[in-house]
């Protein structure tokens, strides 16, 4: 049988495909751009026929149909490796749960621990090529591992998704697929919020840490993108990319002639990443581009692999930092915001790199709903807040008021340095708390 004939034999409607799901199943949807659309709608229509359907995914790019028909989570039980805005809203309603993880371990979780808990994998892919292969597109990070253990696999073919060159583990052969659904659904763009003046000040401090030939990782959010844009406008040259996420900023760097990857020790000449989310021009750049290499997170996020490149600079953001140097990037108290993702992976790998730097950025303060000024630098993290980066791994922290380097510093040195980058109006209160906590030296110069 030819691949075309095999394709036709497995081609069904979304409604027919979701009949494969039975009560009690665990279903995996992949991440962001791979989340299914037609299959989501067809599955939602089966709400009253099913019970106890547990869905695992990474960061929803939209509000799913199953949420609309099942707002209380009576049938569909959502479990998420990393929250986006839509997931946070569902979590606040008690209809979404987080799965703690280090992103580098995500494929390992499936192969070592969840191998019996993937009844159906269903996700979007670009059209099959002439050799019978589908491609994981912007979601190479973990999909191969899911497919390796899934009992049934359903693909939703989306013509608009780009074909991502590997790397490795970027392909799925038609012989592994049970059903194929065709649906010309939209490819979601993830807009970058416009930078504030505070963002620009933080980015200027980050720029001082850059050197020619630096190999860059940019995390999720507006701040890393601002830094990337400034890099594109700078005099720096021969920058490299080894990042879990490929975002708009890397395209701007490439377009400006700054992203050459010439000085990388591994994947020399290649832009290396695990997943992508951004604007349409980013997806156009990815499509069949052999200068980009998509890998699973077991490779991109392995600190040992990261450190093989010199001058790695990881740039991520956080929610709060306490005076011990503990960094919370995923929750505000017990309210879950995002996830650990690859932040700790890259903090560890970048610091281990020769000449490398692990940078965490945040605004020094924010205004609460009552208009009061609140500090993001706090004496101790609020009860229930998750420590994303332990104090033992914290390196450089930057706010609009400057940077502090915590690596190798004692508790009193950390407190003093962190307070220097807090909002000036809030420093006295932090000093008093540091004194009460016995981590304030009389030798301070603040």
| Catalytically active residues, by annotation | 244
Q: Could you tell me which of 375, 349, 363 has the C-alpha nearest to residue 430?
A: 375
Contacts (Cβ under 8 Å, ≥6 apart) of 442: none
Q: Do 99 and 107 contact (CB within 8 A), yes or no?
A: no
What is the distance between the alpha carbons of residues 258 and 323, in angstroms, rounded to a whole number? 37
* Cβ count near 382 (within 10 Å): 15
Q: Do 106 and 143 contact (CB within 8 A), yes or no?
A: no
Contacts (Cβ under 8 Å, ≥6 apart) of 4: none
Q: Do 191 and 315 contact (CB within 8 A), yes or no?
A: no
Strand, helix or coil for residue 31: strand
243: left (phi over 0), alpha (psi -120 to 50) or beta: beta
What is the distance between the alpha carbons of residues 377 and 431, in angstroms, rounded to a whole number? 11
What is the distance between the alpha carbons of residues 226 and 157, in angstroms, rounded to a whole number? 34
160: left (phi over 0), alpha (psi -120 to 50) or beta: alpha
Helix-strand-coil split of the chain, %, nearest 5: 35, 20, 45
Strand, helix or coil for residue 98: strand
* Cβ count near 48 (within 10 Å): 10
Contacts (Cβ under 8 Å, ≥6 apart) of 311: 211, 213, 214, 215, 263, 353, 354, 355, 356
Q: Could you tell me which of 327, 317, 313, 306 has the C-alpha nearest to residue 394?
A: 327
CB-based burial label for 336 (10 Å; 0-12, 13-18, 19+):
buried
Q: How far apart are the first and last CA of the chain?
A: 76
C-alpha dihedral over 273, 277, 283, 288, to 10 degrees? Answer: 30
- Residue owning tokens 């995914």: 57
């Amino acid at each position: 049988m030819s691949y075309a004939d095999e394709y036709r034999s497995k081609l069904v409607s979304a409604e027919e495909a979701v009949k494969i799901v039975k009560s009690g199943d665990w279903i995996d949807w992949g991440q962001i751009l791979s989340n299914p659309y037609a299959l989501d709608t067809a599955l939602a229509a089966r709400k009253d026929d099913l019970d106890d359907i547990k869905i695992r995914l990474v960061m929803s790019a939209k509000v799913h149909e199953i949420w609309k028909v099942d707002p209380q989570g009576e049938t569909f039980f959502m479990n998420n490796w990393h929250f986006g805005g839509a997931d946070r809203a569902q979590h606040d309603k008690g209809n979404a749960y987080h799965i703690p993880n280090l992103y580098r371990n995500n494929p390992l979780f499936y192969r070592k621990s969840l191998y019996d808990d993937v009844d159906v994998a269903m996700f979007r892919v670009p059209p099959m090529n002439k050799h019978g292969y589908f491609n994981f597109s912007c979601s190479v990070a973990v999909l191969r591992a899911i497919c390796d253990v899934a009992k049934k696999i359903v693909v939703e073919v989306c013509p608009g998704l780009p074909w991502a060159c590997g790397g490795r583990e970027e392909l799925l052969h038609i012989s592994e697929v049970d059903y194929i659904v065709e649906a010309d659904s939209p490819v979601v763009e993830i807009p970058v919020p416009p930078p504030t003046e505070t963002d620009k000040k933080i980015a200027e401090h980050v720029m001082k840490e850059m050197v020619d030939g630096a190999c860059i990782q940019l995390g999720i959010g507006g701040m890393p993108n601002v830094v990337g844009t400034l890099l594109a406008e700078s005099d720096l040259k021969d920058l490299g990319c080894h990042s879990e996420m490929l975002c708009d900023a890397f395209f701007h760097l490439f377009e400006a002639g700054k992203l050459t990857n010439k000085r990388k020790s591994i994947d020399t000449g290649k832009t290396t990443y695990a997943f992508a989310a951004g604007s349409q021009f980013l997806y156009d750049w990815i499509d069949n581009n052999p200068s980009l290499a998509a890998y699973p997170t077991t490779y991109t996020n392995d600190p040992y692999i990261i450190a093989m490149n010199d001058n790695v600079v990881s740039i991520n953001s956080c929610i709060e930092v306490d005076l011990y140097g503990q960094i919370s990037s995923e929750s505000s108290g017990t309210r879950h915001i995002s996830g650990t993702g690859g932040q700790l992976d890259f903090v560890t790998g970048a610091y281990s790199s020769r000449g490398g730097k692990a940078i965490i950025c945040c605004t020094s303060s924010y205004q609460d709903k009552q208009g009061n000024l609140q500090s993001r630098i706090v004496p101790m993290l609020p009860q229930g807040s998750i420590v994303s980066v332990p104090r033992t791994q914290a390196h450089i922290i930057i706010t609009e008021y400057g940077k502090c380097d915590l690596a190798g510093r004692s508790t009193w040195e950390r407190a003093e340095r962190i307070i220097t980058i807090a909002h000036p109006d809030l420093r006295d209160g932090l000093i008093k708390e540091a004194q009460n906590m016995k981590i304030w030296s009389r030798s301070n110069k603040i």
